Chain A
Amino acid sequence: MTAATTIERPNRWDHPFDLTMRDRDLEWILSLEPFSSMDRDRFTKSSPLVDIIRNDARVNRYETGDIIVREGEYGSCAFIVLQGSVRVIVTSLPIGDLGGSKPKTVSLWKALRSSLMNYSVAEVRKIAQGKDHAQASLAATSIREVDDRPRIFLQDVDAVLKDCESEPLGPGEIFGELAAITRSPSNYTVVAEGPVVLLEMRWQGLRLLRRDPNFQAQLDRRYREASLKTQLRETSIFRFIPPENLEKLSDATQLRSYGDREWFADYRETKKLDVQEKIKAEPLLIQEGSPANWLVVIRSGFARRSYQHGHGHRTISYLGRGQMYGLQELIHNVDVGVHEDQLLPYQESLRGIGFVDALLIPRREFIEHALPFIRNEERTKPIRQPRYDAHGPVVETAEAKSNESNLDPALLEFLVDNRLMNGLQAMMIDTDRCTRCDDCVRACARTHEGNPRFVRSGPQFDRYQFTQACMHCIDPVCMIGCPTGAIARDTESGVIAINPETCIGCKVCAESCPYSNIMMVEIHDARGHKLVDRESKLPILQATKCDLCQSSPTGPACQLACPHEALVRINLSNPIELQEWIRRKAA
């Protein structure tokens, strides 16, 4: 039993993105823009440009009309046009044209068998033994992947392109990098017009490429333009604004980033701070009482809406991607038609929670170009009892303003402080119903080869425990820094899963997860022998986490298995939804 199978510790680039990449292709790629103009000395010894392209990139061919990037898709790759040209369709297409592919579920029979099976050892892996072996096995799989991925293409490209607005992209141009880097779903659809050759670069590689200043600059420029327009377009109340106005608007718009993009790193420290301290530590976007000159639109990350209450701040709500702040004040000022120097200032302050990426639209431009095109029913009501007027705080009229989702403010605070609003599929347990029977854990273990994927404990507010299971965050920080891209977001379901084939157990994800919902586990081979590193003789670990039972046809087993309806997978980024559930369950 003590006999352990020793293997070579897996390394970064053990599993290159594309095995079939030949040196000739490499030569050719390097001869093209933007690589040809890159300064190779900028790159480190450990990761020279060549290796980056060899390992983190792959060449793909697309035929006319093939959809390369689908709008709303979580991409983890940037695309660089090598040959031919593609069209970026900025107006959103009906999803029917884009063709949604089904989430891959195993057959009922297989699921049945595995759930009936008794696992004497947990976490059995078919881990590759040695490099060649790995290549052999993976070569096979990569080929299958190519076959597996159905190429959805538009029946009549020209027709589609005719009625919708699109921008052409030629050789050397790059797209999809925003989605890749900001771990955000793509804003646009990209279609191949005529046969094209693309270089797919996974975002780990992309980050390395940014060592080259020109490339960096190019990225930033595009980042501002492309994302900005689409962002504005995406904003629902702007949808009736004619393009030229939008143009003007976007020119005037300022783009600001607050806080640290890698917010989770110091989150652990700030978490320990006292609540007020915490808020103080947060980057301030807007100070309450300051003149309302901007309309703020959250691009990514989160912002906390709060107001001074006693000696502290009371959170009203948190703004996520696409939500805006200041609209009420601006519209109030216009509708009430007060005099220039009697304008109402901002009523609440806005603070970045960790990292916030916001658009600031100047007041005048907004009133001029945007406001006329906002539907009346979408205009906010005038403010009756202002907390601040032109002369400063209004004394003693300020009663606790109830937040939109009249959710208990304390709970709201709690969610924000623990960054729980990040969760799209968070696990919440009503401890007044939960009998600690652990059926959820058992169910999880059964659906995951004998080892559960979460621990039935975690931060608790009142009767609600926010259990330590992966929340499949809006902002999946765990995906940052995975050297092999083993942890990835499923493009359809948005579920973040770890691919055991390519996980090398580097613990990056486990450590970067602010909620420590990713666990490193010792793995075994089919005979139940613990796998141990050949040199260090240390057991080989792999990261595991909740995968929302993607493979099972009946969805998350934990929720299904709870005999007391105490457990729910819920979207915490939407307080309304949470409130709904709490109201229904409050019995």
Chain B
Amino acid sequence: MQLFMTIPINIKRSALFAGLAVLLLGTGCKKFLDVNQDPNNLSNAQPAQQLPTVQAGIGVVVGDDLYPFGNIWSQYFTQSAIASQYKTIDQYLQTNNDFNYMWGHIYQTALVNDQLMIANTIGNPGLIQYQAIGYVLKAYTLQLATDAFGDVPSTEALQGSVNKNPAYDAQQIVYDSIFNYIEKAKSLMNPADPSAPGSDDLIFNGDMASWIAFANTLELRAYLRLSQVDPATAEAGVKALYATNPTFLTADAEMTYTSTGGNQNPFYIKAVSLGKAVNLAASSTVVTQFERNSDPRQWALFEKVKATDDTITDLVQGTYAQNTNKVTSKPSPLVGGDPQNAASALAPVILIGAAESKFLQAEAVARGWVTGSASSLFTAGINASFATDGIPDSAANYISNAPDAVFPASQADQIKAIITQKYYAMCGSQGFEAWTEWRRTGYPTFLVLSAANGGRGVPLRFLYPQSELTGNLKYPGTVPETTPVWWDK
């Protein structure tokens, strides 16, 4: 730029102007102006850095966004009397704004990075297992989205600048795509592929056999979800799945966390940032059943108010206002529910539980769609649940004595028993899935109307987020929370 300071002053004005312009257009100037490469961010990412992002995103959705809704509407927990964070959930009082973060984590953290990871693997045989995991995680996340919200953007979603206003797909279409993605994933999965991910796979550490079991279990879950709305498709799907001699999950598919700041259980991180207020209390809905069955899992899942207590101190669902200052049992660190106990940081987020896997298989048999022993799968589910809750040795006594551990004779009773046991197994850890299965089957039958309902109906779906309402020209309009989703017949 030195040139500008030494321009002779005696040349004619017009020439000067032109001269300056020529100087500026020269190559030196072009180089001088070529400084718009962002030095702070990267223009590309590798699948090994994208996969953990997707998985952590799913961990936040399941372990934090869905956690209070699922666990309160399943009536494992209720709003405690000494705080107020989740009052509106017990009041069945939703607003579009309550779902901005949940939707954002689904689409803008999990799904979009998953989509970009899949795109990164195209044409690279060394990354094919990443692609496979990408598809199955896409199926898993889309199912969360559609089970929560009903019709959601799928075919037009995640295209960035190409489509800033993606249209919403009917839930049936979304389910079709879920099955497609699972099939696609399974066709690519190969436990012998040496280029499978390693520690960057936060769920299975690159064990593709586990991923195959995950995909099969997810497919079974998804087909069974259609049992009421389209039993023929559900049955055909389950039969086709079993025809492949599938493996199913035998251990919890979960995200694990540590006590390192920022790497803890996401619900616990949130609770700490909310000042460690104790917002959740044991709900009498589930505690009553645990007591009726002398179920020792209640001691693993909830904390006694005093060490000498012989019962869990619960609240009737939604009665925080009538029990001012009542100190109640908190969810235990096992399910990440005690913000004042640092052990909550270590609670895993279960994506599909081992017990759930058994109960899904039991239901498929009980419906007569496939062969097997529903009774032993039912018992195996209970055993898996006790193992997850850290008390495997207590299962046998429970199975022998608890009224709800009896496997009944009729198909209808069997399904009721299976879903009810699945409900116990999911207490505090898979609240959203338990609530979703309640929507599908109506089991368990002992859920009550929250005392804080204020005349509002029981929610059967989430509201679309405000961010879509204001940001998407193809927003389909808010569907009331009391309208059931498509598969909920």
Query: Are A and B genuine complex partners?
Result: no
- A residues engaging B (CB < 8 A)? none
- B residues engaging A (CB < 8 A)? none
